[in-house]
Amino acid sequence: MMADRHDELLRLLRSRADWRAEELAERLEVSTRTILRDLNRLRDRGFEVSAMSGPGGGVHLEPSSVMVTSQLAGDDVVALVLSVAIAQSMPWMPFASGANDALAKIEASLPFGRARQLQDLMMRILIGKPSSASMRREGRIDPLLARVFETAFSQQHLLGFGYHDRQGNRTQRVAEPHGLLVRAPMWYVIAWDTNADEQRLFRADRISSPHILADQFVPRPHELLRDIAPDASAHFVR
């Protein structure tokens, strides 16, 4: 959404005194024109954005400018919790323990219904030990996959994709993405394979051309996940 970009833009402007419009454009992955338009909208909203032309010039936000009141959306909280969980799957990172406090505060202030909903999602996510050394050399993960998985996972849609196994056989799959197993830096889809009619783990970097199917699935009770947890010496997020 556009509002998100404005928040992001404000954050950048506050984080450093001077920016060139082009830099901002690169950061936010939009054209320079759009940035200039956004800056005007911020001005309309009452922020004091000054700018200097020419070499050494740039855009600058007056620190005194107004404050924004924003809200964390449901997805935002999921993303935060997951990120923190991943970071903490590594031992003894500085500042990592503080993140729990932060999350606790955030969760505490969530309305009940939303907290419940969040909990349901979290119950489907497992954090395992960081993956083994050899995994480092394996193939890249399809940039599309993350996004496609996100929606299929959280909206309970069937997921179609191509999969190549250890032997290099490429097959076409349709699966119900019930869970997510993270073994940094790799991750797996915990799924029910509707072709083979059995539970399966699909490794992210072996998935190609993922797409969401129209059909939805019924979230199974946690049998699937319970089976996997001890195997991968994994634990639920919270």
Partner DNA sequence: TTATTCATGACAGAAGTTGTCAGTCATTGT
Partner DNA sequence: ACAATGACTGACAACTTCTGTCATGAATAA
Q: Which residues bind DNA (CB under 7 A)?
A: 1-2, 5, 19-22, 29-34, 36-40, 51-59
Rounded to an integer, what distance in angstroms lies between the CA atom of residue 111 and that of residue 88?
Answer: 26
Q: Which is nearer to DNA, 1 or 67 (CB)?
A: 1
Residue with token string 């199917």: 213
Rg of the chain taking only CA atoms, in angstroms: 22
Q: Which is nearer to DNA, 69 or 155 (CB)?
A: 155
The per-residue DSSP string of 117-181 comes to HHHHHHTTEEE-PPPPGGGGGSPPPPHHHHHHHHHHHHHTEEEEEEEE-TT--EEEEEEEEEEEE
> Could you tell me the smallest distance in angstroms from the CB atom of residue 28 to DNA?
9
> Could you tell me the smallest distance in angstroms from the CB atom of residue 199 to a second copy?
20
**Residue 82 binding result from a second copy, DNA, none, given CB thresholds of 5 to 8 Å by partner type:** a second copy
Q: Which is nearer to a second copy, 103 or 212 (CB)?
A: 103
In this structure, the number of other CB atoms found within 10 A of the CB of residue 197 comes to: 7
**Residue 56 binding result from a second copy, DNA, none, given CB thresholds of 5 to 8 Å by partner type:** DNA
**Residue 117 binding result from a second copy, DNA, none, given CB thresholds of 5 to 8 Å by partner type:** none
> Could you tell me the smallest distance in angstroms from the CB atom of residue 10 to DNA?
15
- The DSSP 8-state label assigned to residue 206 in this structure reads G
Taking a C-beta distance cutoff of 8 angstroms, is the pair 9, 42 a contact? yes
**Residue 212 binding result from DNA, a second copy, none, given CB thresholds of 5 to 8 Å by partner type:** none
